[in-house]
Amino acid sequence: MKSRSLWQSAFFALAAVCSNLSTLVEAADGPYAVTRGSYKFLARDEPLVATDRKVDLWGEVYRPTKLGKTPLPLIVFLHGNHGTCGRYDSSIEVRVDDSADYTDQGKCPPGYVVTPNHLGYTYLAEEMASWGYMVVSINANRGITAGSGLDGDDGLNLMRGRLVLRHLKLLSDWTTGVGQIVPPTTLRFNPKGTMDLSQVGMMGHSRGGEGIRAALQQYRDKGSSFSSLIKNLEIKSLFEIGPVDGQTSRVLDADGVNSMVLLPSCDGDVSTLQGMKVFDRVFFNKTDKIKAFHGSIYAWGANHNAYNTEWQESDSRDCYGADEIYPQNGRSRPQQLTAVQTLVPFFRGTVGANADPSLAAIFNPSNSLPSSLTDITNVDRGFLPQPIGPDVERLETFSRDTGTSDAGVRTTSKGVTVVHQSAAFEHQAGTRVATVGWDAQSKGIKMFQINFAPGKDFSPFKAISFRTSLRCFGQICLNPASENGEMSYLVRLVDANDQLSQGFLTSKEVRISRPVGPTNYRGAKQLHSTLYTINISLSQFGGVDLSNIKGLRFVFNGQEAGTVDIADLVLLKNDPDTSDNKTDAVASVAGKRMMTDPFKAQFASLAPASPSDDQNTIKILRNPKISASAAQAGADKSANQGGVDIVLTSKRSFPFTDAFPKLLIGEKTIEGGTIGPDGKTITIRIPEATFNALPAGADVSLLLLASSPPWSFGPLPK
């Protein structure tokens, strides 16, 4: 009965949130009525986008109904990877998008409709348009979504970026009154003079996230055709939702623009939270001279799919340690509102000649979050007000072996163990942490101190900033999250005269809480120890000489046990507390939404279906290497480049995901593969040498969503 009552509590808590949804949305609506239009130019040869397939120039346009003489700032949306054809499933009462026939053929099978992937952000687009923005949501179905990858662009995200730029070229032509494509009547307005291409923001969801970064970087490329075709284009800001990273041969950063990454804590598709790496790399960048801010938003209880209202099957079964804010089938207004309450102030604060920077203050953890967000769920924030440079000085990254600072000075610890190591799996390789741990046996003072020799002059700076998170210790990952978090510790400065400053308690700034995350099909937990930011004004450290600081001390007294990660310490020349609404941040971050039962016992482990039940088959096809003469004759290398194809078929549809499929052969994991248009076949091409090294008879299985059982294909035939 206990489990049932806890679930009832969670249900009624979610119902209470839903009862206030209309108020939350209405309170955020802008002053302008909104009108929608569209353009659709199908099956086009667009060599600037792709030379091996046709694509559509298809977009939905949202704008203020009444247009004045002043051009509007432009926001572009790009969806991720999904089926391009869907059918209504009466058993679960939603559309199931289990076909990709439209991708290559431009039409769907009988009984299917074209999936309007780009319309899944209408709730965001109408909100932005109501504040005086032109918003274009791009449909990338034809040729790209669920399409076959290319060498160096396995996820087709470079191609997605070029598609975005081609749309920007079209919009630029229309607003300047040039170009060969005539605006259609379906647009419902004359676009000439209506868009300000010097004020552009972009949102990308999932593969669309890496896609908009690809657009940014390919526009900047030396000799880029688009830089000469789109005059006066200035991309100001990027907002990514559950993005992928690393699916191309290029590292695609969000440098030189304001950037924000919204991470769903229980993402069952991009379950490794790859978007965290985009924020991590800001700390590595040494050349970015644009004073843009960067950050991350970690939304408890959110999944991947519910941010797109057209993706109506959940990618995640449950969320361990947090209340889900999404259903298993259908749409979620609570989860949509976590995007509304973050994306809208981000763009309103950074894009447009009349942008109001104060609206972006909510991303700074020194300031309170709005109750309209914290009434829905808990949120953790990462933040860097400017890139590393003259105004943001790197202080410590724990790059050296345990016991030694970056500067080669010995650190000090008492009553704790300290290990310098890589950050948790979600983070960019090279992100380092000091993991500080202790247990009930530790007596006396418990502290870790970074030392500076000679002393460090802090007086030119206004604040210190660092990132922190908890790993599981004791019982914290077996119990519900507490109202005030599971950890609070002191930060102090030590000057050259051995004077200790006043202590700053971290709970004054943020709520440091337990890891949460999805569970896989076996019931195993994938909890995220993602780092989030604490900013402390140096005015809080009274009693020391800031011009000669010899140590930065972390004190963990009063905590019986703990395992804490500390990372990326920087000094800021500008005080991050710029809000006039400086209150106790914890009041808005902590107590609004309590997590209930982390066990969720009714979610039993799911056994993989047997190959016979699913009629699974596996076939091995060896591809001859292309000959030199054929290459000179212009043979299609992408279609016949040698290697071995592992072709898997099943009567159970493979879901089209944004993260790459994972082929498990014995102890070997191979990422990648292309799902066929009917959703029942997947082809994974690997080098011949890789195949030859695989053991004959090894078990073969395919994993697409972490929370769903893999497809089993039996022994590897060799």
Q: What is the mean pLDDT of residues 48-68?
A: 97
Q: In what order do the strands lie in the sheet with 55-64?
A: 34-44, 55-64, 134-139, 72-78, 195-205, 235-241, 258-264, 294-299, 379-384
Q: Dihedral angle at the C-alpha atoms of 487, 461, 346, 352, nearest 10 degrees?
A: 180
Alpha-carbon distance 263 to 280, whole Å?
13
pLDDT value of residue 580: 42
pLDDT digits (tens, 9 = 90+) for 697-718: 999 999 999 888 889 999 999 8
Q: What is the mean pLDDT of residues 611-624?
A: 85
pLDDT value of residue 607: 57
Task: Give burial (CB, 10 Å; 0-12/13-18/19+) of 66.
Answer: exposed
pLDDT value of residue 443: 84
Backbone angles phi, psi at 530, to 5 degrees: -75, 140
pLDDT value of residue 15: 36
Tell me the residue ranges of DSSP E strands in 408-561: 412-414, 417-422, 432-438, 447-456, 463-470, 490-495, 504-505, 532-537, 549-555
pLDDT value of residue 586: 36
For residue 482, what pLDDT band results from cuts at 50, 70 and 90?
A: confident
Q: What is the mean pLDDT of residues 645-672?
A: 95
Alpha-carbon distance 210 to 155, whole Å?
9
pLDDT digits (tens, 9 = 90+) for 95-148: 999 999 999 999 999 999 999 999 999 999 999 999 999 999 999 999 999 999
Task: Give burial (CB, 10 Å; 0-12/13-18/19+) of 444.
Answer: exposed
DSSP 592-635: SS----S--TTS---PPPPHHHHT-EEEEEEEPPPPHHHHHTT-
Token pair in block for residue 124:
């965001």
Q: Where is average pLDDT lowest: 109-118, 259-268, 283-292, 637-646?
A: 637-646
Share of the chain above pLDDT 90, in %: 81
Half-sphere exposure of 136 (CA within 13 A, CB side): 30
pTM for the full predicted model: 0.92
pLDDT value of residue 602: 41
Q: What is the mean pLDDT of residues 603-632?
A: 66
Q: What is the mean pLDDT of residues 14-29?
A: 39
Question: Hunting for tokens 């191979």 — which residue is that?
Answer: 670
DSSP 300-337: TT--SGGGSTT--B-S-S--BTS---S-SBS--HHHHH
CB atoms within 10 A of CB 286: 8
Is residue 559 pLDDT above 50, yes or no? Answer: yes
Q: Using an 8 Å Cβ cutoff, are 245 and 157 in contact?
A: no
Alpha-carbon distance 424 to 427, whole Å?
6
pLDDT value of residue 635: 37
Alpha-carbon distance 422 to 379, whole Å?
24
Is residue 612 pLDDT above 80, yes or no? Answer: no
3-state secondary structure at position 360: helix
pLDDT value of residue 584: 39
pLDDT digits (tens, 9 = 90+) for 154-205: 999 999 999 999 999 999 999 999 989 999 999 999 999 999 999 999 999 9
Enumerate helices (H) and strands (E) in the chain, giving the number of each: 14, 31
3-state secondary structure at position 408: coil
Q: In what order do the strands lie in the sheet with 617-623?
A: 617-623, 643-649, 681-686, 674-675
Residues 6+ apart with CB under 8 A from 334: 14, 17, 18, 21, 325, 326, 376, 377
Q: Which DSSP state fits 163?
A: H
Alpha-carbon distance 644 to 667, whole Å?
19
Alpha-carbon distance 198 to 369, whole Å?
30
pLDDT value of residue 484: 84
pLDDT digits (tens, 9 = 90+) for 213-242: 999 999 999 999 999 999 899 999 999 999
Mean pLDDT score across all residues of the chain: 89
Alpha-carbon distance 465 to 538, whole Å?
10
Q: Using an 8 Å Cβ cutoff, are 312 and 330 in contact?
A: yes
Q: What is the mean pLDDT of residues 681-685?
A: 96
Is residue 516 pLDDT above 70, yes or no? Answer: yes
Residues 6+ apart with CB under 8 A from 283: 384, 388, 394, 397, 431, 568, 570
Q: What is the mean pLDDT of residues 583-593?
A: 37
pLDDT digits (tens, 9 = 90+) for 75-110: 999 999 999 999 999 999 999 999 999 999 999 999
Residues 6+ apart with CB under 8 A from 104: 53, 143, 147, 677
For residue 440, what pLDDT band results from cuts at 50, 70 and 90?
A: confident
CA distances from 498 to 148, 322, 455 (A): 64, 44, 11
Token pair in block for residue 708:
């769903």
Q: Which DSSP state fits 480?
A: P
